[in-house]
Amino acid sequence: MARTVGDVAMLLDVMAGRDPRDPLSVTRPEQSFEAMAEPELRLNGSPFRLI
């Protein structure tokens, strides 16, 4: 899904937040995940990989 932490943070920003059609959704966090991430940190060596 992503090669860097910045990419994952961008995905989380897109997926996070309230959906008016979903009664179980919640409001979006004040600070974006992308702003908190270290964007150039690579995920090489991560135990989560495609098989």
User: In this model, does residue 51 exceed pLDDT 50?
Assistant: no
**pLDDT tens, position by position, 17-48:** 788 899 888 887 778 887 877 666 666 666 66
Global pTM exceeds 0.75? no
Position 39 in a domain: yes
Position 24 in a domain: no
Position 5 in a domain: yes
pLDDT of amino acid 21 = 92
d(CA 40, CA 7): 9
In the chain, the number of structural domains is 1
Can you list the pairs that 10-15 forms with residues at least 24 positions away whose Cβ atoms lie under 8 Å?
A: 10/34
Position 14 in a domain: yes
Position 40 in a domain: yes
Position 26 in a domain: no
Q: Quote the domain boundaries for residue 2.
A: 1-18+32-46
